[in-house]
Every structure is written in C-alpha cells, then in structure tokens.
Amino acid sequence: MGKLFLAIVFVFATLNSAVAQTKSIADLANYRGTDREEMLKAGAKKESKMVWYTSLTAHRDIANVFEAKYPGIKVETYRAGPNDLTRRLLSEAQARRNLADLVETTPSTLMMMRDSKLLQPYSSPHLVNFPEDAKEEVDGGRVLWTTDRESIVGLGYNRNMIRANEVPKSFADLAKPENKGKIGVSGDTTGVRFIGAMIKAKGEEYVTQLRSLDIKMHMISGGAIHELMAAGEMPMSISIFRNHVLAAKPKGAPTEWLPLDLNPTNAGGVALPAAANSPHAALLFIDFLLSPEGQKIFEEKFRFATSTRNYGFKRWYPEKGYTLGQYEKAEQRWQKLLRDLTRK
C-alpha cells in the first residue's frame, strides 16, 4: 500500500512538473501562485538565457545585478534609441524572427507594440505598489506595461546666475517680464513635451504669451541643455531632467531643479513580447525591476524617479490615453507651437 501511494505521488508530481513546463506564455504571465518566484526561477534556469531590448543607458549595470541575484540565468542586452528600437522590433515581427524576450523602453515603442498586437498582458505581485497612471492596464489586474523608471522634466537654473528668490516657482512666475532673455529650451522632444504640459495646465493662449520672453531654442537634447546651463551658457531652462541635476550635483555642478505646475514625465516601461522565447526569465526580470529592490536601484544608483513615490508635485505622462497615431498628431501640434514661440 505504501509503495502504491508513493508511486501515485510520483506520477502526480511528474504530471504537475510536465504541466508547469508546458504552460503557455499567457498562463505563465498570469500566474499568481505563492510559488511564482520559485516556478519562474526553475523555468528560467532551464532557459538559461534571455534577450533584453531596451533604450536604457544603464542596462548592463542592472543586468549584472539580476545575474548575481539569479545565478545560471544569462541576460543578453541590446540597447538602442527608441526610434531604432521600434524599427528593429517591427522588422523582426514582419520577418517572424522574434528575438526579444523582454522590452524596456519609452511609451512610443510600447504603443507601437500594443497597437500591433505584439505584447502579452502580464501580472506581477508588485503591481499593487504602482499607481493607475503608471500601468497600461488590460483586464483582471493584468497590464501590457508598467512604468519602472521616470525622468521628470521641469525648470532648471544655474545658481551662480539666478538668485534663489528670483527663480520662477510656477507657470505664472515664468511668464513675468523680468525673465526675458534668460530662458533656454531644447528643440527635441524634451522641450516639445513641456509645451504640451503648459497647454494642458494653462491653455494655448498662455504659450503664445511667452513669445515676449525671447526664449532661445537649441536643437540639442535635454541632457546637452543641462551641460550648457551648468557651464554658464544660459541662466535657466524649461527642459531640464530632474535626474540629470541630481546626478551632477555631487560632481560640483551649480545647477538646481524645480517642479512647476505640471511636469511632463519621460517614462520607461517594462513589457513582455507575445513571442518571447524565454518567458520564465523575462517574467522573473519584470518582477525584479518592479520590486522594491529594483525600484531602489533605479532611484538611488541612477537618480531616476519611481512612480511608486509621491514627490509632492504633479507629474504628467503625455502619451497616456492616446493611440500612437493620436499622440504623434498632438506632438506635432506642440512642436509647431514651440517653433512659433521661439521664432525671431
């Protein structure tokens, strides 16, 4: 009797193991059992490696932490800018040659994948910590992506050129005549999105009123604008990333950052491709990025903001609620307003 019982137990254990190994990607992505981590870890070790597509500059540093935490799972990374990443993912999908197991990048690429049905909805035990705006929800608590990092755009200034009591604290302060000739702006998406925030908060008429301030546009990135400001080339700018200032201050940069009425947020979201070849490893990596440990790494080591924290000012995700086509039209309108605003 005892031997028969053990044999039955063995058969059921074998069947359960086989079922676990043959779970579909959809089943895995929605699995919420208390043994989720152990199940994913066991499956990931059998997969042995995963391929991570991202626009994140610090991708290798984060992959190294994950590999140390989960020995035996190799993370191969491919890093490119959002536009190049979008083209590569589309090209691979059209050729039915899907290489990415995980995608972590900005919303435009994720929106393309969403609209092209290239994403698999997933669950994670850490989703409860994230606000609704930070999740692209589908149903039943599942999401297509979650914002795992934020670069928040606001007002930056050089404290050697602007006294603290002269710094604008709001859009109303910014529009004052005494700021004429003191403001720079990036002509890339950083500045364009800030125009969108102004319109959302104050309307287009407010933006047109700023023409009298002689705002100077520079066709460089927000990061390059910060470097110019730190070097004393401009007193202040409305296209400065919070994390750039936080990272530069310990190195002696004379720059400060302030939020205004509404602050556009460049979000990085983590998503699971529907055709992932190593879904166990990908889901384990998603849980790692969204965990308190992963969020702490983003915030403390790389100075990103995390959507799980309230910093006391209003953040705005410009793409939220749009299809990719709708957002591109809105961005084109903001870009035209920026050009008109800075035209001499």
pLDDT-derived band of residue 200, with 50, 70 and 90 as boundaries? Answer: very high
Q: What is the DSSP letter of 236?
A: E
Mean pLDDT of 16-32: 71
Query: Percent of the chain having pLDDT more than 70?
Result: 94
Strand positions, DSSP E, the chain: 49-54, 74-79, 102-105, 135-137, 143-158, 183-186, 216-218, 236-241, 255-258, 263-271, 315-316
Within 10 A of 269 (CB to CB), how many other CB atoms are there?
25
Residue 32 has pLDDT above 80, yes or no: yes
Mean pLDDT of 290-319: 95
- Both tokens assigned to 237: 């700018």
Residue 167 has pLDDT above 70, yes or no: yes
pLDDT of 17 reads 37
Element (H, E) at 59: helix 59-69
Element (H, E) at 16: helix 2-21
Q: What is the mean pLDDT of the chain?
A: 92
Distances (CA, A) of 74 to 50, 88, 251, 278, 294: 6, 22, 34, 11, 18
pLDDT of 140 reads 87
Distance CA 263, CA 315 (A): 5
Residue 68 has pLDDT above 90, yes or no: yes
CATH 3.40.190.10 residue ranges for the chain: 25-149+266-312, 151-265+324-342
Residue 9 has pLDDT above 90, yes or no: no
Whether domain 151-265+324-342 has CATH 3.40.50.1110: the reply is no
pLDDT-derived band of residue 8, with 50, 70 and 90 as boundaries? Answer: very low
Mean pLDDT of 142-163: 97
pLDDT of 23 reads 72
pLDDT-derived band of residue 19, with 50, 70 and 90 as boundaries? Answer: very low
| Interhelix angle 36-47/279-290, nearest 10 degrees | 130
Mean pLDDT of 81-89: 93
Mean pLDDT of 117-140: 96
pLDDT of 315 reads 95
Mean pLDDT of 198-219: 96
Pick the CATH number of 25-149+266-312 from 3.40.50.300, 3.40.190.10, 3.30.360.10, 3.90.120.10: 3.40.190.10
Query: Percent of the chain having pLDDT more than 90?
Result: 90
pLDDT of 332 reads 96
CA–chain centroid gap for 12, Å, is: 43
pLDDT of 14 reads 34
Residue 15 has pLDDT above 50, yes or no: no
pLDDT-derived band of residue 300, with 50, 70 and 90 as boundaries? Answer: very high
Distance CA 196, CA 202 (A): 10
pLDDT-derived band of residue 343, with 50, 70 and 90 as boundaries? Answer: confident
Residue 2 has pLDDT above 50, yes or no: no
Distance CA 149, CA 109 (A): 15
Q: In degrees rounded to 5, what are phi and psi of residue 315? A: -100, 150
